[in-house]
Chain A
Amino acid sequence: MRRSEDARLLTGRALFVDDVRLDGMLHVAFLRSQHAHARLTSVDASAARGRPGVVAVYTAADLGDYWRPGPLLVPPPPIAGLVFNPCTQVPLAKDKVRHVGEAVAMVVAESRYLAEDALDDIVVEAEPLPAVVDLEAALAPGTPRVHEHLPSNLAAHAVQRKGDYARAKARAHAIIKRRFRYDRGASAAIENRAVAAHWDQRAEELTVWDTTQAPIPIRNGLAQLLGLLESQVRVVAPYVGGGFGPKIMMFYPEEVLVPWAAMRLGRPVKWTEDRQENFFATTQERGQIHDAELAVAKDGTVLGVKDVFLHDTGAYDPYGLTVPINSQCTLLGPYDIPSYESEFTAVFTNKTIVTPVRGAGRQHGVFVIERLLDFAARELGIDRAEIRRRNLLRPDQFPFNNDILFQDSAPLTYDSGDYEPALDAALKAIDYGRFVREEQPRLRAAGRHVGIGVVCYVEGTGIGPYEGARVTVEPSGRVRLATGVGTQGQGHFTVFAQIVAEVLGVDAGEVHVVTGDTREFHWGTGTFASRGAVVAGSACHAAAVAVRAKVLDLASRELEAAAADLVLDGGRVHVRGDPGGGLALGALALKANPLRGAVRPGTEPGLEATAYFGPDRGSTANGVHAMVVEVDPETAQVEIKRYVVVHDCGRVINPMIVEGQIHGGVAHGIGNAFYEQLVYDEEGQLLNASFMDYLLPTATDVPNVETTHRETPSPLNPVGAKGVGEAGAIPTGALFAQAVEDALADTGVEIREIPLSPNRLFELMQEAR
């Protein structure tokens, strides 16, 4: 079915934050640090303040008591022996700057052009310090410290264990041991971040438009920061031009400062991030180094895995340990791995803050286990698909407890799944057997370098705490649905409308959805961890079920029939067998809100209900990706010939939207695998902070994705859904490495890192010579 949000988006009428225009609006530009690491000795803004058109300039000193470090967003799970040093970001750098692009001063002016002019007038004196860039060097003794009150650059250290790896290792036929690297990328939503704020002095209300993925927590936090009642703050996340994770980071300095300035100045204030700022100030992800080993029996049975890794958390760690714990937990994959020892150290560096980006650390775990399986298969002489099959969990093993803690502090338990048929479906779709036996030998004989890959993964999705929704039947018969999660293109408007429409027996087009406006709904958390359809969708379902009960209760009185004999269909309620009779929902809504007479005890006026849903733990989606590539060994160019996805996200509510999510995820994954890399030099300077040099894949770089759905409903929610938003991006690096390595089998190249590039692939081939 078509998406209800599309007409507005297609005609240019959808409101994005930068579209907000209010009388007297002022515009903001930030002076950002040029240094990765430096001591600030003075920030002199006096000349800037005198420039015509400049209304105010703020430095850390001007913020007074309002200057304080941001909140710790996600406290770490209670892992035994955990070390965690929280150091959260500050609104404006005070004594020290810790990454290039950290905000140092804020200029408010009559236009963005004038505000940028004034940045030149601010005189910053800083003593540069050696930058902490390399992950391993960061922990070496004597290295400069990003946070000087800590004894080292260690941000966190955690060990999780399952079974007895030492015993597994002793029993193993072979130990496969490698070092793996995954480097940084940008989320690169095409819409940059933006915040606009308006303080209405008469109503004493603050309205903030924000490109956030979490409007409700932003509202609650802002109220607290500014000393307002929560009801005095309205946060609107209107149409948001892509989120991918970093738009949930709260609080970005700009989110703290723009509303404050609007209140202080008594005029609306807007800041819109430009692309250059986005490369420095919006959070990033993916720098990890793993030293991993796999203990395997002769028949390919995995006996255990040991993984020790470093995680780059950037200059601050407000998002806790979500990313490295996702890496740690996702490594186990769809496999029955009896013993596991995983230790990570998160490290502060003088780079942009790391928070989840589509996949949120899961990529790394998948990369490590899948590559280890590939190397094991080669060493043991087992087919790559076969070694996976031998280790997959069986359907009778669910729910399957992996005995370690997930990012939501719940035990890592897979709710449901049926993995082997998914593998078979992928092998069939890409014609694996025939390719390996016939096509590849034939093409190789003709001098062509073609390769195939197949990887499996699971994805923990749909975690708590909860979301809510309110469903209202209006006298017009139209249904209003309000929920707290914002939407960044995932089609929530449509999916939620479908869920409610099905329960109430109305056309989905009759369900009017509002998301991401705290005035409409103010309980909930946000859009992350592929949880929109699962958690908010379940809340929508619950609210619709409650309204349905009210409809049936009222209709049974009005129609003098038992509720069990009533049918909701086509926007009407009628007695079974009498489709022509009955009442329209709108007429019932009118009756439920009488102008005369009393509302009976125990009932409420209107056909409206609010409901919440909070799963005890997340659901586990899974999938298998397969691809065929051809490599030109002379130029190291890679062409993707085919890309197959078999995906199980539980019950599919809207196949069109699910496929779209997968397409986009795969494209993002291909970007991570072969095009995108944030390149920092030894001084912590980002060398490719533009779309000229940071390469997002384009239409000519991304293949058509052939998708197959499988549905193993989740028992954890009434809809049966599991998340899908991040799935496409998670296994792509591992798959790309396997397929390219297969294509270049005659060169002996072994791929242990992502991202690749033609240049890097050329180097690897040279080294393998």
Chain B
Amino acid sequence: MDPHANVEVTVNGVRHRRAVEPRLLLSDFLRHELGLTGTHVGCEHGVCGACTVLLDGDAVRSCLMFAVQADGHDVTTVEGLSDGSGETLHPLQAAFREAHGLQCGFCTPGVLMTLVPFLREHPDPDERQIREALSGNLCRCTGYQNIVAAVRLACGAPSSPRA
């Protein structure tokens, strides 16, 4: 049996086709095949949340999926949130910068990708909801306080989150 399988996946609006080993994790595919290294890997067993991406709009752990399983699907990574140049930030990104919602920034892409669909469903969350939404993403630097503050700031921002 040919050890490689084809995967055709749309990432941040761009279609990619590759032949990969079925065992290649989606996280490794995004980072090392497509060079989208904004998606980080922290535990590879689905706990830390750093590798969170959107699969057809829903947040999933990219370390708990094989790349081949994304065949025919739509993936959004942190690189897809802003315009790519870094000049224009997504409102949530801007709020994180404003509220000091990140320190080392390693967990941040996963946190953002968790929050984008959460805020789509809960445009005006209370603190408990925000903290529960964040509870699947580990951050060792911030103590979460300023992440919560950033989410609140983002909810008050004039433009609503995209993606």
Contact = CB atoms under 8 A, between A and B. Distances in A.
Interface of A: 2-3, 5-16, 18-19, 21, 113, 188-192, 239-244, 274-275, 488-491, 656-657, 659-661, 663-668, 690-692, 696, 698-700, 702, 704-705, 728
B79 interface: yes
B37 interface: yes
A664 B141 contact: yes
Contacts of B86: 7-8, 11, 13
Interface stretch (B102-110, B117-125, B153-161): B102-110
B144 A702 contact: yes
A190 B138 contact: yes
Given A12-B36, A12-B38, A13-B86, A489 B138 contact: no
B53 to A, nearest CB: 11
B39 interface: yes
Contacts of A274: 44
Contact of A14 (B42, B93, B105, B143): B105
A18 to B, nearest CB: 7
Contacts, number: 181
Given A12-B79, A699-B144, A6 B102 contact: yes
Contact of B147 (A3, A191, A699): A699
Contacts of A5: 105
Most buried by B among A242, A243, A659, A699: A699
B148 interface: yes
Given A10-B89, A190-B140, A192-B42, A699 B105 contact: no
Interface string B41-69: 11111011010000000000000000000
A497 B15 CA distance: 41
Given A241-B107, A728-B143, 4 more contacts: A14-B105, A15-B37, A189-B104, A663-B144
B131 A700 contact: yes
Contacts of A11: 38, 78-79, 81-82, 84, 86, 89, 93
B97 A16 contact: no
Contacts of B45: 275, 690-692
B63 to A, nearest CB: 10
Given A11-B86, A702-B145, A191 B42 contact: yes
Which interface class (under 10, 10 to 19, 20 to 34, 35 or more) fits B?
35 or more
B75 interface: no
B4 interface: no
Contacts of B78: 10-12
Nearest to B144: A699
A455 B37 CA distance: 43
B31 interface: yes
Given A19-B31, A690-B47, A241 B40 contact: yes
A668 B143 CA distance: 8
Given A21-B35, A690-B47, A189 B89 contact: no
B113 to A, nearest CB: 10
A188 B32 contact: no
A664 B146 CA distance: 10
B106 A242 contact: yes
Given A7-B86, A10-B105, A699-B148, A691 B48 contact: yes
B94 to A, nearest CB: 8
Contact of A699 (B21, B82, B131): B131
B6 interface: no
Contacts of A690: 43, 45, 47
A664 B144 CA distance: 8
Nearest to A694: B47
A78 B37 CA distance: 48
Nearest to A6: B97
Contacts of A244: 140
21 contacts: A7-B97, A16-B37, A19-B37, A21-B32, A190-B42, A191-B40, A191-B106, A192-B42, A241-B40, A241-B106, A242-B103, A242-B140, A491-B103, A660-B103, A660-B143, A661-B103, A663-B145, A691-B47, A692-B45, A698-B144, A702-B144
A659 B108 CA distance: 18
Most buried by B among A3, A14, A491, A657: A14
Contact of A275 (B44, B79, B109, B141): B44
B109 to A, nearest CB: 5
Contacts of A489: 102-106, 141
Contacts of A18: 31, 37, 41
A215 B82 CA distance: 32
